[in-house]
Structure 1
Amino acid sequence: MRVGLHALGIGDGARPEVIRAVATAAETHGFARLWCGEHVVLVDAPASRYPYSADGRIAVPADADWLDPLLALTFAAAVTSRIELASGVLLLPEHNPVLVAKQAATLDVLSAGRFSLGVGVGWSAEEFAALGVPFAQRGRRAEEYLAAMRALWAEDPASFTGEFTHF
């Protein structure tokens, strides 16, 4: 069994000294992977139900610091050498797929191949609204963005034409 540690970069865990201490201690004590989740925006009074708790509310307060997972994991990569790193999860339909492909590939290079990109589609309609991204089509958007990112990673030069993105 391999054991990982989640919630890096949230609340008090968003301070550089805490990330450094947790990442190095986890590596020293044989943890397999560090996970860092994402919410670009949390709202004070969400109408959307959080699907992973009985009361429908996320346990993280809206005013808690929540670092960008790719940047926080890049910092963790710089202070470690063996432990694997993963986004758990990056809300892909909220992002530009070309930029995410570049950032994920950069983190993978800087971590010497230790990074795994975990993506999800999100649950908060308010978060999508704050970003100007349609909530209703997030699943289709995520599938297309993954296809576009795979094209970027596999083709040189790359091209892609879809409903939500093209290059």
Structure 2
Amino acid sequence: MKKNICRIIGLLLLLPLFSGCNDTDDVAAIFTGKTWKLNYITVDGGHEMFDFWGDKLKEEASIKELNQNGTYNIVFEGIAEGDAINGKIRGTVIKSFALEGSWSANGKNNNFNASVTGNDGGDRLAYNFLEGLNNAISYEGDNKNLYLLYKPKDSKQTFRMVFRVVNN
């Protein structure tokens, strides 16, 4: 009886070794297999759209475009190798202006990089959307919410692009 109790205690002591923490994101599950729609762009730490316009009419036009189906969408395609993933990115900016390029992310250190081309159609939000993708340095999120952090050229502020999953 005493022998069995010792064995059980020994097995229980080994249990933490088998259930160790994994501090690496599943980058394929976060990025791929879904369409991401921009919610808003804010200064890191903020929770509302940053004023890129300084003009209420231009802002309203941008927000109207943002709220349409099929605009400000991105789709990531790629194959994960260990903690990293890279592949193609495609999407739609405004109206019928497409974007395409390449991207990579690392689940261990949350680094993110993208190189995209697209047309902003002269819209300030579209311009900042493309700039944000091209200057993104890291990501946060899960399979329902994605945050890309970027620093615009010649800026001291870090911005956060906030995305949500949309149905295709």
Establish whether TM, by shorter chain, passes 0.5.
Answer: no
- Quick check: which one's helix share is greater? 1
The alignment's TM-score, normalised by the length of structure 2, stands at: 0.23
The alignment's TM-score, normalised by the length of structure 1, stands at: 0.23
- Quick check: which one's strand share is greater? 2
